Amino acid sequence: MQHRDTVHFYLNGKAYSVKPASPTQTLLQYLREDLRLIGTKEGCAEGDCGACTVTEAALQPDGSLAYRAVNACIRFLPMVDGKVLWTVEALGDAAGQLHPVQQAMVDHHGSQCGFCTPGFVMSLYTMYRKGLVRPDREQVLDHLSGNLCRCTGYRPIIDAALDMHAYEPVVPDDDLVHGQLAQLRERCAATLVIVAGGSRYIAPTTTSELAEAVRQDPDAVVLAGGTDVGLWVTKQLKTLPNIISVGAVQALHEITLDDDGLRIGAGVLLEEGYEAVVAEYPEATELWKRFASMPIRNAGTLVGNLANGSPIGDTAPLLIALGAKVVLRKGAQRRSLNLDALYLDYRKQQRDPGEFLEEVWVPRRKPGVKVATYKLSKRFDQDISAVCSAYALTLDNNRVKAISIAHGGMAPTSRRAPRAEQALLGRSWNEGNVRQAMQALEDDYQPMTDMRASSDYRLKAARNLLYRFYLESTGVDGTRV
């Protein structure tokens, strides 16, 4: 295995080769402190506000180009290895002509104090680069879901986004970006190993190298998109032990669909993983769009969300209800486990030291199955669930042939509701039986009270969400909550 200790990337059109000060030096620190590119701001340092948004280009497994807005504040510098990046300083030309997204922001009065503006501009610029020059309102809201503004208000910014097509277009330079990424692929062929600041970062390039690295160093942090791990450093100020990244293993970025199901590798981003799940289960569209924000979904992985195992993670309830399995790997050995069996207790998993999650398998849709998932949180976008529920129901002559009910936010882990399921199995799918199952949820869960919701609220919400599922399954229009 050949090694290198230098991170290679393009930034604003120029090639960089950098030895990070430490494996957890963030991209934002590097931009602002080392390069003095201070257009990219730090607001929250936890992926919430979008002031640090930059645009990143990468090659997809099929060789196509992907442009993504990401948060520089929680992206460790080694994670941009092999990527092409732009900050707000790259926009506009040498003659002082603004980029169309900037001019549209000016003309629509999209900025007041200006602190959030570079972040908004970079989210719009990413849309522009993706070819979404004439987006619809939904697309704009989705792409701006990770940007907060405290003084302008959003209407002028949304208007700017809707109007950016009206300006002299910028000629796409995708071929140039392709060329830069191809060069980087060659330069980044050897395994990146950084030893600095008291810890070691390694980014193996094959699954077996990764598996061996994790097996040999079971205390190392497995790093995927860093949308949890990044905050351990920026908010909890932790010094991490050794880090093993899954990001450079191309095979783990793949999604495959066969007759049985969907395989989503450990490197697949939330945005793409959810897109694949939603293609099979469109009922999860709202959950997808309400999961964090676009930049977080562009960085975090779907498998990372399952591996994190947070009791309020949004992916686990749905995938548990659908009967998903995870593939765990230790060295050369693999085993498959039902997703609900992975979670033993709060932050305790059925995972051996040196074992990592290689992929998740989601079964294909079975004929006639009714599926729903609901997320309750205080804000529509970019908020953590108080309760997240998911259901998969198969009826036979209006009798419950199979039912799976799972919740997040109700127990120390995402968990099924066996007593409620039992109250329905084999019975008629009618209001009386559903009400009994709603009651049985009280035996399934003793939720906690915390800043998001009281125990009482959570139980009531879970009961009412089951009722909502019943109503919707019988054709009554649902209520958006």
Ligand X SMILES: Cc1cc2nc3c(=O)[nH]c(=O)nc-3n(C[C@@H](O)[C@@H](O)[C@H](O)COP(=O)(O)OP(=O)(O)OC[C@H]3O[C@@H](n4cnc5c(N)ncnc54)[C@H](O)[C@@H]3O)c2cc1C
Binding site for ligand X (CB under 6 A): 46-48, 221-229, 231, 246, 266, 270, 291-292, 296, 300-301, 303-305, 307-308, 313-314, 356-357, 382, 384
CA 383 to chain centre: 13
* Helical pair 117-129 and 100-107, crossing angle rounded to 10 deg: 130
**In the chain, what is the greatest distance between 2 CA atoms, to the nearest angstrom?**
73
The answer to the question of residue 284 lying near ligand FES (CB under 6 A) is no
Nearer to ligand X, 80 or 229 (CB): 229
Nearer to ligand FES, 232 or 467 (CB): 232
Strand partners, 57: 67, 84
Total residues binding ligand FES (CB under 6 A): 23
Binders in 298-337 for ligand FES, by CB under 6 A: none
- The residue within the footprint of ligand FES, chosen from 116, 307, 318, 424 (CB under 6 A), is 116
* Strand pairing class (84-86; 7-11): parallel
Question: What residues contact residue 340 under an 8 Å CB cut-off, 6+ apart?
Answer: 320, 406, 414, 415, 416
305 close to 318: Cβ distance less than 8 angstroms = no
- The residue within the footprint of ligand FES, chosen from 27, 31, 51, 376 (CB under 6 A), is 51
Q: Which stretch in 47-55, 284-292, 349-357, 410-418 sits in contact with ligand FES by CB under 6 A?
A: 47-55
Q: Which stretch in 57-65, 98-106, 113-121, 434-442 sits in contact with ligand FES by CB under 6 A?
A: 113-121
- The residue within the footprint of ligand FES, chosen from 151, 166, 189, 481 (CB under 6 A), is 151
| Short-list 3, 23, 60, CA closest to 181 | 60
Q: Which does 10 bind (CB under 5 to 8 A by kind): ligand X, ligand FES, none?
A: none
Question: What residues contact residue 78 under an 8 Å CB cut-off, 6+ apart?
Answer: 7, 20, 23, 192, 194, 201, 203, 245
DSSP run (H or E) holding 126: helix 117-129
The answer to the question of residue 106 lying near ligand FES (CB under 6 A) is no
Phi then psi for residue 2, to 5 deg, are: -80, 140
Tally of CB atoms within 10 A around 263? 18
The answer to the question of residue 111 lying near ligand FES (CB under 6 A) is yes
CA distance 403 to 422: 9
Question: What residues contact residue 98 under an 8 Å CB cut-off, 6+ apart?
Answer: 91, 92, 106
- The residue within the footprint of ligand FES, chosen from 11, 27, 31, 49 (CB under 6 A), is 49
Nearer to ligand X, 192 or 434 (CB): 192
Q: Site map for ligand FES, 371-400, x if CB under 6 A?
A: ------------------------------
CA distance 82 to 59: 9
Q: How far is the CB of 291 from ligand X (least distance, A)?
A: 5
Q: How far is the CB of 476 from ligand X (least distance, A)?
A: 28
Q: How far is the CB of 118 from ligand FES (least distance, A)?
A: 10
Q: Which does 246 bind (CB under 5 to 8 A by kind): ligand FES, ligand X, none?
A: ligand X
For residue 185, the SS3 value is helix
Residue 173 corresponds to which amino acid? D
The answer to the question of residue 44 lying near ligand FES (CB under 6 A) is yes
Question: What residues contact residue 367 under an 8 Å CB cut-off, 6+ apart?
Answer: none
The answer to the question of residue 71 lying near ligand FES (CB under 6 A) is yes
Q: Which stretch in 130-138, 148-156, 313-321, 356-364 sits in contact with ligand FES by CB under 6 A?
A: 148-156
Q: Which stretch in 147-155, 162-170, 280-288, 465-473 sits in contact with ligand FES by CB under 6 A?
A: 147-155
Question: What residues contact residue 55 under an 8 Å CB cut-off, 6+ apart?
Answer: 67, 68, 69, 70, 85, 86, 122, 125, 126, 129
Nearer to ligand FES, 147 or 180 (CB): 147
Nearer to ligand X, 110 or 409 (CB): 409
- The residue within the footprint of ligand FES, chosen from 23, 29, 48, 281 (CB under 6 A), is 48
The answer to the question of residue 56 lying near ligand FES (CB under 6 A) is no
| Short-list 452, 169, 409, 427, CA closest to 313 | 409
Nearer to ligand X, 314 or 421 (CB): 314
Q: How far is the CB of 170 from ligand X (least distance, A)?
A: 30
The answer to the question of residue 50 lying near ligand FES (CB under 6 A) is yes
| Short-list 216, 198, 230, 180, CA closest to 56 | 180
Site of interaction with ligand FES (CB under 6 A):
42-45, 47-52, 71, 73, 111-117, 149-152
